[in-house]
Chain A
Amino acid sequence: DGGITQSPKYLFRKEGQNVTLSCEQNLNHDAMYWYRQDPGQGLRLIYYSQIVNDFQKGDIAEGYSVSREKKESFPLTVTSAQKNPTAFYLCASSSTRHNEQFFGPGTRLTVL
């Protein structure tokens, strides 16, 4: 069953802590993306990666970091430098030839 998975579904963090969100895909897609969605707003791009060992900042990269050591995996770390991290985080992937994006189920992060 091909798809994209994110874990955990809900995540709670204390202020000042770093936290890592997992994203895995078995679609053999080259490109992967992280978005943030706040209530009533569209998706804002945090980071994207078009190939293993390479990634680019999106529109709101400050306070976030990523790695792309494997084609299948694109974890996102929310650092303590992110001032307002409570949000719904979505991971997506796409092939290089067909640009529609396939999204994971999302991780809802709450900072306590």
Chain B
Amino acid sequence: SQKIEQNSEALNIQEGKTATLTCNYTNYSPAYLQWYRQDPGRGPVFLLLIRENEKEKRKERLKVTFDTTLKQSLFHITASQPADSATYLCALRAGSARQLTFGSGTQLTVLP
């Protein structure tokens, strides 16, 4: 069956360090993968999109990699800050499907 797994439910890191979140998928051939940030009680906010033919994408302190052989995406936040604390969701769209399928998210806490 198709499955999306994010590496852990919660991740705590020290301010200034790089946070690395993992998104693994099985039985998908995604056209692209997206990452969203969600704060408690709010809707997710889109961060980055990476397509199947792209290895890496960057936006300010954020970096996403996409390895279709490993069936994995890594999401990095460099020089992390307490304001980066949130739940991060990965989502992928397979083939011609219009709808996204979301992972359950990783709750990141950046400690001051």
Contact = CB atoms under 8 A, between A and B. Distances in A.
Contacts of A90: 43-44
A104 B43 contact: yes
B9 A40 contact: yes
Per DSSP, chain A at the interface is strand
A45 B43 contact: no
Given A33-B99, A48-B99, A58-B99, A41 B45 contact: no
Interface string A48-63: 1010000000100000
Contact of A103 (B9, B45, B103): B45
A101 B100 contact: yes
B49 A99 contact: yes
B99 A103 contact: no
B99 A105 contact: no
Interface residues of B, number: 22
Contacts of A88: 41
B71 interface: no
Interface string B32-57: 10100000011111100100000000
A110 B41 CA distance: 14
Interface in A80-112: 88, 90, 92, 99-106, 108
10 contacts: A42-B4, A42-B89, A42-B105, A45-B100, A99-B98, A100-B34, A101-B44, A104-B43, A105-B42, A108-B41
Interface of B: 4, 9, 32, 34, 41-46, 49, 89, 91, 93, 98-105
